[in-house]
Amino acid sequence: MTVRFSIFTLFPDMFAGPFGESIIRRAVENGKVQIDIHDIRIWTHDRHRTADDRPYGGGAGMVLMAPPIVEGVESVLAGKPARVLITSAGGRTFDQEMAQELAAEDDLVLICGHYEGIDARVTTLLDAEEVSIGNYVLTGGELPAMVIVDSVTRLLPGVIDDASIAEESHQDGLVEYPHYTRPAEYRGLAVPPVLLSGHHAEVAKWRLEQSIERTRTRVQTSK
Ligand SMILES: C[S@@+](CC[C@H](N)C(=O)[O-])C[C@H]1O[C@@H](n2cnc3c(N)ncnc32)[C@H](O)[C@@H]1O
């Protein structure tokens, strides 16, 4: 099964680098994902290809207009059902649980805002969900869309080693334990001896303790 991501943006060229390298590139080449980047300006209605306008009620900045986005998404989906996400600093906070949820979908639409954001009617008309990647404000939704595509793609069967996913941060509510590789000592810092002991049960116990401690001291939770 191939998961299709349809991304709507004013800046399609931004995606070439992150999607053209490493694991995501291989996932595309192996048919695990299809990533279609759509320039919102294709569905504009005037010769200047205007996709934004001043906000009703006044205020700073420009707002992305509803018609090009709504018509673009409708035209690409052509009646096929899909989960539609709008990147928004004020949306539901994206997390590993949501990444897993999205990895079970066939068709995902990601809409990238810019400037002051997107006309609110797009959310209603496309029955979309607003998603934030964290409590800070970026210049546009392109980086959040890349984050979402990346985190969902690596969860798809066959994209990376299943064992890597099982032990990862946030997969079971804990963050991962620390990793070490050669050399065994570097600038006076030695690898914890238990990791060199060859004693699998002791290693597992040490890793679990480290995960619990790191989760306790580093993870802020709203739950
Ligand atoms: C400059 S921001 C708009 C911020 C908006 N005026 C506000 O106060 O929430 C432009 C676009 O970047 C995207 N964006 C910015 N921060 C984001 C975040 N933390 N998560 C997801 N998208 C974000 C959204 O698509 C947003 O429409």
CA 84 to the chain's CA centroid: 13
Q: What is the pLDDT of residue 220?
A: 74
Of the CATH numbers 1.10.1270.20, 3.40.50.800, 3.30.559.10, 2.60.40.10, which one belongs to the domain with range 174-218? Answer: 1.10.1270.20
Q: What pLDDT does 165 receive? A: 82
Which amino acid residue places its CA nearest to atom 18 of ligand 1?
A: 89
| Single pTM value for the model | 0.94
Which residues make up the CATH 1.10.1270.20 domain(s) of the chain?
A: 174-218
Round to whole Å and give the CA distance between 207 and 188: 22
* pLDDT at position 7: 98
pLDDT of residue 162: 84
Please tell me the residue having the least CA distance from ligand 1 atom 21.
Answer: 132
User: Cα(64) to centroid of ligand 1, in Å?
Assistant: 12
Could you tell me the two tokens for 209? 């303790």
Class of domain 3-162 (CATH, top level): alpha beta
Ligand 1 shell residues, CB under 6 Å: 87-90, 112-114, 116-118, 132-134, 136-141, 144
CA distance 211 to 40: 43
CATH 3.40.1280.10 residue spans of the chain: 3-162
pLDDT at 221: 61
Mean pLDDT, the chain cut into blocks of 10 residues (223 residues total):
97 97 97 98 97 97 98 98 98 97 98 98 98 98 98 97 82 92 97 98 97 93 53
Mean pLDDT of the chain: 96
10 contacts 39 by C-beta, under 8 angstroms: yes
pLDDT digits 0-9 by tens, 43-101: 999 999 999 999 999 999 999 999 999 999 999 999 999 999 999 999 999 999 999 99
Cα(89) to centroid(ligand 1), Å:
4
